[in-house]
Amino acid sequence: MEPNEATTAQPTAPQPLLALENVTVSYGHVNALKNASIQVFKGEIVVLIGANGAGKTTLLETALGINTPVSGRISFKGEPIGGVAVDRNVRAGVCLVPEGRGIFASMSVLDNLLLGAHNNMKNAGKHRERVYEWFPILKKREHQIARTLSGGERQMLAIGRALMSSPELIMVDEPSIGLAPIVVNDIFSIIRMLNQEGYTILLSEQNANKALKCAHRGYVLETGTVALSGTATHLLNDPGVREAYLGA
């Protein structure tokens, strides 16, 4: 279990879009992340695999600026962002689609989208048109209260809201949780489509099989440390991963 193993098996791209180096985050006396290092390069889909409580959400939220690391470095496009306020990171191009979507249920679909553009209102109209092109159902539901949306529609709204901030890196926390299998397939095709449109994606998933089939590379988190990393194919064929996360 080498903490730095993650950095050894990288493609030769010069500078990662997002890099965490030996990041430790603690909640009181509990270390939620211990010396975790990951890198995400432009154009990639990277997936974090791990059980409940392995630190996936903590890692994503730390990259967004919710938690300040006790030690270690976080950088986005080479700039250090450890401990920087969330709204500044969102402005810089990082965003998170939270687990359980984080939709504002009492507000309209349009209001939810505009909240995503809070720091970028100038381009809100343009971005909204693109979101409606990709998710026509959201245009149809524009003035409905978000509470009335189905699970899949809420996930689309949460992704659409993220796109409103004109991000470069979209982090998606547990996109498949609570969704019917057929809808899960839709969500993963949306993620692939966004990646082809040029967005870099960092996912966290308990549904390791589907996530690895969609991703380029992955990291396995165990109790706050990076236990294993490699290309998605490598991880899919790893006996340990197969036994622990793929049920094989």
Partner 1 sequence: MEVFIAQVINGISLGSIYLLLVTGFNLLLLVAMIIHFAYPQVVVLSMYIIWLVLGYTGNNLLLGTLAGVASSILLNLISAPLFQKVMEKRGEVDINSTMVVSMGMGMIITDVLSHGFNKGHPIAFPDTLAGGDAIVRIGLISILPGQVYAFGVGVVAVSAFFWLLYKTRPGRAFRAIAEDPSGARLVGIPLLKTGLQSYALSGLLGGLIALLLAALLGSASSALGEQVAIKVIAVSIIAGLGNLVGGLVVGLSLGIVEAVVQGYISGTWSNVIAFVIMLVVILAKPNGLFGLKI
Chain residues in the site for partner 1 (CB under 8 A): 61, 64, 66, 85-87, 89-91, 95-96, 98, 102, 104-107, 111, 114-116, 118-119, 121, 161, 165
Specify the DSSP element, H or E, that contains 154: helix 151-163
- For residue 172, report the phi and psi dihedrals to the nearest 5 degrees: -120, 120
β-strand partners of 47: 203, 218
Shortest distance in whole angstroms from residue 154 CB to partner 1: 13
Q: CB of residue 90 vs partner 1: minimum separation in angstroms?
A: 3
User: What does the chain come to in residues?
Assistant: 248
Query: Of 40 and 90, which CB lies nearer to partner 1 in the complex structure?
Result: 90
Cα-based distances in Å from 172 to 61, 95, 106, 152? 10, 9, 23, 14
Least spacing, CB of residue 65 vs partner 1, in Å: 9
What b/e string do you get for 131-143 counting C-beta neighbours within 10 Å, with b at 16 or more?
bbeebeebeebee
Are the C-beta atoms of residues 168 and 199 closer than 8 Å to each other? Answer: yes
Residue 96 CB, nearest approach to partner 1 (Å) = 6
**Shortest distance, CB of residue 70 to partner 1, whole angstroms?**
16
Q: Which is nearer to partner 1, 21 or 173 (CB)?
A: 173
Nearer residue to partner 1 within complex by CB, 175 or 230: 175
Cβ closer to partner 1: 146 or 226?
A: 146
In angstroms, how far is the first alpha carbon of the chain from the final one? 22
Give the shortest CB-110-to-partner 1 separation in angstroms.
10
Nearer to partner 1, 2 or 142 (CB): 142
CB closer to partner 1, 115 vs 177: 115
